[in-house]
Structure 1
Amino acid sequence: MSTTEMAPVAPAAPPPAPPVRKARKPRWEIYLPLGLYLLFTLVPFYWMVVFAVRPRGSSSLVPWPISLENFETVWTGMGFGVFFQNSFLVGVASLVATTAIALPGGYALARFRFRGRRVFLVSLLCSQFIPGAMMLIPLFEIFRTLGLVNSLSSLVIAETVFQLPLSLVLISGFIASIPVELEEAAQADGCTRLRAFFAVVLPLLRPGLVAVGSFAFIHSWNNFLFALMFVSDQDKFTVPVGLAFTLGEFSVDFGALAAGGVVAALPVVLVFAVVQRYLVQGLSAGAVKG
């Protein structure tokens, strides 16, 4: 072997793998506050369910045997079936109206730049500080002039008007998070702006639409003030007003009141359980964009 020949160089050793960090277990500092908050939140609901399902005259902390007598009383005897139907109709109508109006308005705020846009957005946000009680007398006079007093239509209009500012802000923020290049590519392929909106933007707006629709439905379902002021016939009462009328002048049927509370809370809980994944995504996108 010639002295000028060089020995083969050994391949370099691979770099050492980074140490694997063990997942840090949650400590009691996390579990204790969460547990206390959960206890504080669930205890009132537990008492409401206990009063609703335990037999009349019982004072047991554990409702056994379970009785549905209170639910039968509020559903048939107090007319909660009609109240539930009215609340559902108002909630669905408010959801559809709010979403249908907020969708084109939010698109215009997100995609077009015009003079006064920022002032308009700030005005929408500032309108949320106006309490609904201040608008009762003007709204009542408007509805009386239009002949809408003592009708469910007045509740739908009032709920839609009060839900629109926040809905417009959320929808515009979510549309702003969708790249405009997707629409431009669709228009380059021959789509009109309207067709590009329905084919490209609208399918991506599902979380935002779910967030807006959920808030509109839940707010109209829980609203007590509008239903109390604009509706006077008992067959047009909503669930919150029906709950108020379960309180007697000299006595309170706590079992019936608790059963009505369970009936009123159940749809809201179901809505949040079904749409909570879309709700969080829609709110986070609508809050940081735009």
Structure 2
Amino acid sequence: MSTATPTRPTAPPGPARPRPARPNRAVRVGRWQIYVPLALYLLFTLVPFYWMVVFAVRPRGSTSLLPWPISTENFETVWNGLGFGVFFANSLKVGLASLVATTVVALAGGYALARYSFRGRTLFLVAMLCTQFIPGAMMLIPLFEVFRTLDLVNSLWSLVVAETVFQLPLSLILLSGFIRNVPVELEEAAWVDGCSRLRGFLVVVLPMLRPGLVAVGSFAFINSWNNFLFALMFVSEQDKYTIPVGLAFTLGEFSVDFGALAAGGVVAAVPVVLVFAIIQRYLVQGLSAGAVKG
């Protein structure tokens, strides 16, 4: 008599393992739709800078598309012959002074707008915004008369004052928004612990405003560095020119030294590129996330 061997019960078939999804054709098309415009925009943006670097570092008389062999003749001509060392120092002084003045005044005014309620605050903010629609060229004659009365014409301080006045409204509004995002309860806790209002602001609020301060300060410095109109109108002596005015005076009446002009452009662009490379992390935080985390 034969006995049948017992069979193991088979487990019910489980769900089929999903196959890895292939990239959708629509997704691939969508990526090309993003990358191609970005590549064209990048090419359109970088080609002028490439030609500026090529003209600056290639030898005089060369027509090569590649900057080889590299020559520093144009930089020596610009820095020593045309006085760009003095122009660079003047631009640096004006930029740093405008940065400090704009940041300090905007910080004090922004705190007042964010923490105090007073009659006319909304009207004041609207007036600050409206000043951004006034072109700087319309204010040249009034500013010149003011600076002439104060004996600031042909002085770098006139550039610092003008740059601070024109950059202050937007900086004040930005910093007031950052300070408003800081909970007032943090300051009140510091007051309970014995801090004065000033010390509470310096210890509690100011460290949280780092992204906003970097954003405001960087805009103030870059705008002062690149400003041409005020430096052209309020300064007449060559030893007080800034870089934009110095670049304009490299253009001759009947000829243009493209190598020297390109070298001056490189000298003017390098500090701006370095500033943005160093502060880009804080700049993005300051323009997007605000001043408070968590």
Relative to the length of structure 1, the TM-score reads 0.89
Residue 159 (str. 1) matches residue 163 (str. 2): yes
The equivalent of 1:144 in structure 2 is 148
- 8 A Cα contact 1:55 1:65, kept in partner: yes
The equivalent of 2:38 in structure 1 is 34
The equivalent of 2:6 in structure 1 is none
5+ residue gaps, structure 1: 1-19
Displacement, 1:285?
4.8
Q: Distance in 2 between matches of 1:215 and 1:185?
A: 33
CA RMSD of aligned residues (A): 1.9
Residue 245 (str. 1) matches residue 249 (str. 2): yes
The equivalent of 1:86 in structure 2 is 90
Q: 1:216 aligns with which of 208, 220, 241?
A: 220
SS across alignment from 1:67: coil
| Aligned ranges 1:185-264 → 2 under 5 Å | 185-264=189-268
- 8 A Cα contact 2:211 2:290, kept in partner: no
The equivalent of 1:282 in structure 2 is 286
Structure number, greater radius of gyration: 2
Residue 68 (str. 1) matches residue 78 (str. 2): no
Q: Distance in 1 between matches of 2:22 and 2:185?
A: 42
Larger CA deviation: 177-186 vs 237-246: 177-186
Larger CA deviation: 245-254 vs 275-284: 275-284
Larger CA deviation: 80-89 vs 183-192: 183-192
Question: Across the two proteins, how many residue pairs are aligned to each other?
Answer: 269
Q: Distance in 2 between matches of 1:180 and 1:21?
A: 51
Q: Distance in 2 between matches of 1:37 and 1:169?
A: 32
Q: Distance in 2 between matches of 1:85 and 1:184?
A: 44
- 8 A Cα contact 1:169 1:286, kept in partner: no
Displacement, 1:284?
2.6
The equivalent of 1:4 in structure 2 is none
Q: Distance in 1 between matches of 2:258 and 2:76?
A: 14
Change (3 A) 1:117 1:285: farther
The amino acid of 1:46's aligned partner reads: Y
- 8 A Cα contact 2:109 2:172, kept in partner: yes
Q: Distance in 2 between matches of 1:283 and 1:136?
A: 31
Relative to the length of structure 2, the TM-score reads 0.88
Q: 2:125 aligns with which of 114, 121, 137?
A: 121
- 8 A Cα contact 2:100 2:217, kept in partner: yes
Change (3 A) 1:124 1:37: same
Change (3 A) 1:39 1:187: same
SS across alignment from 2:253: coil
Residue 105 (str. 1) matches residue 109 (str. 2): yes
The amino acid of 1:193's aligned partner reads: R
Residue 95 (str. 1) matches residue 71 (str. 2): no
The amino acid of 1:106's aligned partner reads: G
Identity among equivalent pairs (%): 81
Q: Distance in 2 between matches of 1:185 and 1:32?
A: 54
Displacement, 1:21?
9.3
Q: 1:269 aligns with which of 262, 266, 273?
A: 273
SS across alignment from 1:55: coil
